Amino acid sequence: QVQLVESGGGVVQPGRSLRLSCAASGFTFSTYGMHWVRQAPGKGLEWVAVIWYDESNKFYADSVRGRFTVSRDNSKNTLYLQMNSLRAEDTAVYYCARERLNGDLQFDYWGQGTLVTVSS
């Protein structure tokens, strides 16, 4: 069965960096676009970034562009989110999510999420 397992969250000071990982299993990872979506405590969902199945395209939300970088290693079935220059407003649960079909941009499987807290 499809599984997405995020890791790498934690407490970090403003201005510092953190890298999240999402380990995928149960499907052919290299054929799906993958996304990061976040949810601040008690708030709604915010799309963060996408990477095409072959890394040919990446898109970001305005709120993270220039600070966050999405990448993937198809040989390891793993998605990453490098987060630099973190701000208090980046505090959220970060989910990785799979597209329903390649290029579909709708998410049929989600991980359990990893909490990132940016605080001094």
Partner 1 sequence: EVVLTQSPAILSLSPGERATLSCRASQSVSSYLAWYQQKPGQSPRLLIYAASNRATGIPARFSGSGSGTDFTLTISSLEPEDFAVYYCQQRSNWPLTFGGGTKVEIK
Binding site residues, partner 1, CB under 8 A: 35, 37, 44-47, 50, 59-62, 95, 100, 104-108, 110-113
> CA distances (Å), 26 to each of 3, 16, 23, 109, in order?
6, 34, 11, 11
**Amino acid identity for residue 7 in this structure:** S
| Nearest distance from C-beta of residue 80 to partner 1, angstroms | 19
Strand partners for 34: 51, 98
14 or 104: CB nearest partner 1? 104
**Amino acid identity for residue 98 in this structure:** R
9 or 113: CB nearest partner 1? 113
Cα(37)–Cα(97) distance, integer angstroms: 7
Q: Which two tokens stand for residue 30?
A: 């290299």
16 or 65: CB nearest partner 1? 65
| Nearest distance from C-beta of residue 83 to partner 1, angstroms | 17
| Nearest distance from C-beta of residue 11 to partner 1, angstroms | 20
Of the candidates 116, 81, 79, the residue with the CA atom closest to the CA atom of residue 98: 79
27 or 47: CB nearest partner 1? 47
| Nearest distance from C-beta of residue 97 to partner 1, angstroms | 8
